[in-house]
């Protein structure tokens, strides 16, 4: 089958994005396609696969997202911005309510965070601090800036469901070896966290500035994870590091977004939704093979605008 996709990224979190409103695949076929397209050793590569899907009476459109291992995620906020932009473009909208796997989000076009950088605002939640919603088994009702019994790390964590599960800890300096070790342990589906979870180490670099490094469930160490940035913003407010309702700049290896946690535990993120190019590719799902991507439309101006934006941050 021949598939068209946009190669896109939000804060450096990159994906193939398919307009799947008229595409019918079985669930196993979607998982195969995600593993093929998001394979870093393959012809496309990405942190996962995004699909724009039909909405319903309450939603203009929907989004689905599969990790690079073929597992489906509840949400992906960097991917949501990209999917929302495509939805806006094909439907002629500037704002919408989007259906996610287990929740809903408000999205809208926003003023550019840098010249030439298309920017989308997302508002998600209310988000949960119930340990059960995060997937922690045998933990207290909520874990906020506390040690977690059974976790092979003595740091104090805040557990939040965005609605995908996140464990967030604030550190003086990110130790990537420590982060990878804990993230890998969580990937093993331990009895404490059988559905796995995302783990973030966060440096507070000023009164309204965070740097986030994340080991993402089903992906590994990533340059950026949107829901992790949102979870870190919420965790900063829950632990009193940044007041609710305060704008925050959130940095990562991929770039920067604007964030804000509201008192009702909703979180706003505003950041880039960059389209790098439109491609077509032949996919043999039964044989587990991809052809060579064919470039249909290049977007060099968007790539340059984002490179300039990132360079200005350094």
Instruction: Look at residue 43 and give its three-state secondary structure.
Output: coil
CA atoms within 13 A on the CB side of 205: 14
What confidence tier does 150 reach under pLDDT thresholds 50, 70, 90? very high
What distance lies between CA 229 and its chain's CA centroid? 8
Q: How far apart are CA 106 and CA 109, in angstroms?
A: 11
Residue 188 has pLDDT above 80, yes or no: yes
Contact 231, 248 (CB under 8 A): no
- Residue-level pLDDT at 218: 84
Q: What is the mean pLDDT of residues 41-46?
A: 95
Cβ pair 162, 267 in contact under 8 A = yes
Residue with tokens 């990937």: 187
pLDDT reported for residue 259: 96
Q: Can you read off the two tokens belonging to residue 269?
A: 């993120």
- For the stretch 288-305, pLDDT in tens is 999 999 999 999 999 999
CATH class of 131-270: alpha beta
Could you tell me the pTM of the whole model?
Answer: 0.89
Predicted confidence at residue 223, as pLDDT, reads 87
Instruction: Indicate whether 314 pLDDT > 80.
Output: no
The reported pLDDT for the residue numbered 103 is 87
Instruction: Give pLDDT tens digits for 110-133.
Output: 999 999 999 999 998 889 999 999
Ordered by start, the domain boundaries in the chain are 2-122+273-313, 131-270
- Is the CATH number 3.40.630.10 carried by domain 2-122+273-313? no
Angle at which helix 77-91 crosses helix 226-238, to 10 degrees, equals 120
Of the two residues 103 and 200, the one the predictor is more confident about is 200
**pLDDT score at 207:** 95
Q: State how far the Cα of 226 lies from the Cα of 232, in Å rounded to an integer.
A: 10
Model confidence pLDDT, tens digit, residues 203-261: 999 999 999 999 999 889 988 888 999 999 999 999 999 999 999 999 998 889 999 99
State residue 264's pLDDT score: 94
Q: Which residue has the higher pLDDT, 19 or 225?
A: 19
Residues labelled as active-site residues: 76, 225
Query: What pLDDT is recorded for position 9?
Result: 96
Same fold yes or no, 2-122+273-313 and 131-270: yes
């Amino acid at each position: 089958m021949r598939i068209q996709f946009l190669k896109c990224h939000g804060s450096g979190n990159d994906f193939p994005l398919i307009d799947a409103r008229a595409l019918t695949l079985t669930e196993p076929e979607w998982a195969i396609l995600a593993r093929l397209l998001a394979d870093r050793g393959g012809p496309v590569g990405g942190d996962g696969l995004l699909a724009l899907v039909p909405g319903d009476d309450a939603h203009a459109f929907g989004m689905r997202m599969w990790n690079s291992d073929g597992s489906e995620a509840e949400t992906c906020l960097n991917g949501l911005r990209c999917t929302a932009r495509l939805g806006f473009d094909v439907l002629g909208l500037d704002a919408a309510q989007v259906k996610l796997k287990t929740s809903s989000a408000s999205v809208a076009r926003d003023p550019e965070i840098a010249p030439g950088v298309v920017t989308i605002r997302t508002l998600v939640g209310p988000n949960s601090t119930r340990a059960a919603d995060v997937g922690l088994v045998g933990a207290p009702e909520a874990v906020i800036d506390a040690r977690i019994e059974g976790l092979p790390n003595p740091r104090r964590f805040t557990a939040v469901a965005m609605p995908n599960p996140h464990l967030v800890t604030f550190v003086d300096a990110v130790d990537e070896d420590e982060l990878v070790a804990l993230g890998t342990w969580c990937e093993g589906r331990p009895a404490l966290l059988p559905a796995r979870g995302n783990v973030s180490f966060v440096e507070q670099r000023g009164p309204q500035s965070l740097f986030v490094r994340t080991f993402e469930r089903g992906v590994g160490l990533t340059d950026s994870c949107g829901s992790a940035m949102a979870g870190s913003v919420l965790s900063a407010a829950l632990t009193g590091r940044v007041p609710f309702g305060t704008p925050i700049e959130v940095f990562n290896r991929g770039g920067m977004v604007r964030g804000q946690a509201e008192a009702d535990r909703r979180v706003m993120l505003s950041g880039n939704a960059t389209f790098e190019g439109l491609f077509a590719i032949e996919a043999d799902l039964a044989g587990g093979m991809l052809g060579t991507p064919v470039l249909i439309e290049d977007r060099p101006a968007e790539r340059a605008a984002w490179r300039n934006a990132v360079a200005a941050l350094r």
